[in-house]
Amino acid sequence: MVLILISGYEIDLERALDIIKRAGVRRVGVQVPDGLKRSAPEISRIIEESGAEVLVSGDPCYGACDIDLQLCSMVDLMVHIGHSEMCESLSDRIVYIEARMPDDVTEVVERSLEFFTKERVAVCTTIQHAHMIDRVIGILRSHGIEALAGGPSPRTRHIGQVLGCCYAAARVGADEALFIGTGRFHPLGLSMATGMRVIAADPITGSVEEIETHDFLRWRYGIIARASDAKSIGILISKKPGQRRCVTARRLSSLGRSKGKNMLDVCIDRIEPERIIDLGLESVVSTACPRIALDDARRYGVPVLTPPEFEIALGMRNDYTFDEIPEACGEPEST
Amino acid sequence: MVLILISGYEIDLERALDIIKRAGVRRVGVQVPDGLKRSAPEISRIIEESGAEVLVSGDPCYGACDIDLQLCSMVDLMVHIGHSEMCESLSDRIVYIEARMPDDVTEVVERSLEFFTKERVAVCTTIQHAHMIDRVIGILRSHGIEALAGGPSPRTRHIGQVLGCCYAAARVGADEALFIGTGRFHPLGLSMATGMRVIAADPITGSVEEIETHDFLRWRYGIIARASDAKSIGILISKKPGQRRCVTARRLSSLGRSKGKNMLDVCIDRIEPERIIDLGLESVVSTACPRIALDDARRYGVPVLTPPEFEIALGMRNDYTFDEIPEACGEPEST
């Protein structure tokens, strides 16, 4: 193990160093998510000791969907920290080194037990706790609960692993779910995407709570209503390889045009309020990471919708559907 | 002419439309600088009338150095608005449509006459007034001044055209120069880069003034002094094709290491204060557009130096040299 400890995470560089040394890699790119960016100089120094030159990605990184393609083209090998492999077409150039949170989950899992009303419970988590999934399942089973976790999907690599845009691992035929992790976005998405009753247990803060979705739905339907009046609408297509959905974007543009809207297709790397204002758009539909429309919404002056929400706004869909990205690596560029 | 008027600029799309129609281009990318971004929906609509699909670049654009390469790879032809051609290796995929300011320059040029003390005066301007250069030269000559303007350079296309990073067109063997345009950055750079006494005449505001460089030098030497104490230093390498200077970056990293500094090479698209703080750097050297170190400096908490300033900080150069980028399209990636 060549271990780096940062902000409560463990990063083991051994596998990356093995590959670099064995293959005699000359130029290495390093990409680290924002919360762990401060570890980049140390990671860089350790890799340089193996004789390679290092180039660090200075731009933000939000996931394995957000591979720095330009850096990738400038180096012989990329070391991508903190996320599990996603885009297989890039995988021969990239080593994924996960960042694990070693915090024990036993206490929050035990405290979650009283919340469940069914015998069958789906168990899932984010990448930093994915190595704990067997322990979580074990605890639930020892209390007579049939805990189940789905296998890897095109976008995930671990049993029980979910992403903000992918809840495949939780679709195991249960009505209730236990989510292990931090923040409200994933458990909310999990509940919205699967219709399950979700108990969120946070091993860092120790909080255990049932996720409520009514406020979310009320809020989203309000935004959809506001967007319905917009005449000039932008369809945002991400440049990030795992968020690029050209086929969806083109379909939504055609739908909008068929309803008499002025549509503008916008290819964009970082979606920010100024960008939308600059383009004079009254509403936008983000085909990128669902967090942009859902988690960052309050930063924008205009309604930002997900693709299914836009279909509701156009009157072409009735039921609320959470936006998931099923493909391994975005969508092909050509139809 | 297929003319769009926006914020005092004229954009003639005729040449782009001719090419699109003649070649039957199917998918067109449109890139517009930030100040003119609001024209993107109209430009898009006009191009769509020719039967092509349009994809607009939503990210900021700062010049012909800042071609949206990812959008470029997704379309058959790019229409780049507001700048003259720079990177020749990309030119078969890009049509450059300049944005001209039609404002007359006669009055400010006549008012500049009394400032000159020499018979020979270099005349230069930025792209939006470049079509006025003959008129400027004519006025000066009619008053007995030998006005001269240099030809195109690897980074510029017009007689007398300068960029923030390239003052080649002003090197005509004169001691005094007339700069036609807006803002202080270009005339200051012109004076610092060439050593000429510079008179700046702004046809928009009507102001005519002699450029003073002492304050600038005092300020930069203060920043250089602060940077001299930094131990951990980042070398920023831009992803923008016309700002990418890998050879310079590598040379500066080696220099820093030879002086006992902890160097981190950072590949970055948008250089922003948060990015530098995230990486825990005490100082950075920007090999990208010189405006980042010089014009935006007050936004950063740490000293941001240009390459020649870093050499002064390391004690390897004495004279202050303004940072210019001589190459047509950045530097090759490999040494």
Residues B185-222: tens digit of each pLDDT: 999 999 999 999 999 999 999 999 999 999 999 999 99
Q: Shortest Cα distance from B202 to chain A (angstroms)?
A: 26
Phi/psi of residue A197, nearest 5 degrees: -80, 125
The pair of structure tokens assigned to A274 is 């100024």
B265–A contact, CB cutoff 8 A = yes
Look at B267 and A44 and tell me if their CB atoms are within 8 Å.
no
- The pLDDT tens digits for B115-127 are 999 999 999 999 9
Residue B134 Cα distances to B115, B120, B183, B205, angstroms = 20, 16, 22, 21
Instruction: Return the percent helix, strand and coil in chain B, to nearest 5.
Output: 40, 25, 40
Q: Which residues of B89-124 are buried (b: 16+ CB within 10 A; e: fewer)?
A: ebeebbbbbbbbbeeebeebbeebbebbeeeebbbb
Mean pLDDT, chain B, as a whole number? Answer: 95
**CA torsion, points A74, A77, A82, A85, in degrees to nearest 10?**
110
Compare all CA atoms of chain B with the CA of A54 and give the residue at the minimum distance.
B265
User: What's residue B333's pLDDT?
Assistant: 57
**Rounded CA gap, B25 and B16, in Å?**
11
Say if residues B72 and B89 touch (Cβ distance below 8 Å). Answer: no
**Residue A32 identity (one-letter amino acid):** V
Choose, out of B81, B251, B264, B285, the residue to mutate when testing the contact with A (most A CBs < 10 Å): B264
Residue A12 Cα distances to A5, A16, A311, angstroms = 9, 9, 44
B280–A contact, CB cutoff 8 A = yes
The pair of structure tokens assigned to A312 is 């509701």
Look at B267 and A38 and tell me if their CB atoms are within 8 Å.
no
∠ CA B7-B13-B17, nearest 5°, is 155
CA-wise closest residue to B278 among B234, B245, B231: B234
Beta-sheet strand order (sheet of A99-100): A3-6, A9-12, A99-100
B55–A contact, CB cutoff 8 A = yes
**Rounded CA gap, B223 and B304, in Å?**
8
A52–B contact, CB cutoff 8 A = no
Look at A271 and B59 and tell me if their CB atoms are within 8 Å.
no
Look at B41 and A68 and tell me if their CB atoms are within 8 Å.
no
The pair of structure tokens assigned to B34 is 């930030």
Compute the Cα dihedral for A247, A252, A253, A255 and give only its sign: positive
CA-wise closest residue to B79 among B129, B122, B23, B121: B23
Look at A280 and B41 and tell me if their CB atoms are within 8 Å.
yes
**Residue B319 identity (one-letter amino acid):** D
A317–B contact, CB cutoff 8 A = no
**pLDDT per residue as tens, chain A (335 positions):** 999 999 999 999 999 999 999 999 999 999 999 999 999 999 999 999 999 999 999 999 999 999 999 999 999 999 999 999 998 777 789 999 999 999 999 999 999 999 999 999 999 999 999 999 999 999 999 999 999 999 999 999 999 999 999 999 999 999 999 999 999 999 999 999 999 999 999 999 999 999 999 999 999 999 999 999 999 999 999 999 999 999 999 999 999 999 999 999 999 999 988 888 889 999 999 999 999 999 887 888 899 999 999 999 999 999 999 999 988 776 765 54
- Residue spans of beta strands (DSSP E) within chain B: 3-6, 9-12, 27-31, 53-57, 77-81, 94-97, 99-100, 120-125, 146-148, 176-180, 197-201, 208-210, 232-238, 262-268, 283-286, 304-305
The pair of structure tokens assigned to A250 is 């083109």
- The pLDDT tens digits for B92-123 are 899 999 999 999 999 999 999 999 999 999 99
Model pTM score: 0.94
- The pLDDT tens digits for A211-251 are 999 999 999 999 999 999 999 999 999 999 999 999 999 99
The per-residue DSSP string of B161-202 comes to B-BTTB-GGG-SS-SEEEEESSSSHHHHHHHHHH--EEEEE-
ipTM of the complex: 0.93
- The pLDDT tens digits for B259-315 are 999 999 999 999 988 888 889 999 999 999 999 999 888 888 899 999 999 999 999
User: What's residue B298's pLDDT?
Assistant: 81
A29–B contact, CB cutoff 8 A = yes
H/E segment holding residue A70:
helix A69-74
The pLDDT of B53-69, averaged and rounded, is 96
Beta-sheet strand order (sheet of B176-180): B146-148, B120-125, B176-180, B197-201, B208-210
Q: Shortest Cα distance from B208 to chain A (angstroms)?
A: 31
B236–A contact, CB cutoff 8 A = yes
Q: Shortest Cα distance from A279 to chain B (angstroms)?
A: 5
Interface of A with B in 135-194 (CB under 8 A): none
pLDDT(B332) > 70: no
Interface of A with B in 58-77 (CB under 8 A): 58-60, 68-71, 74
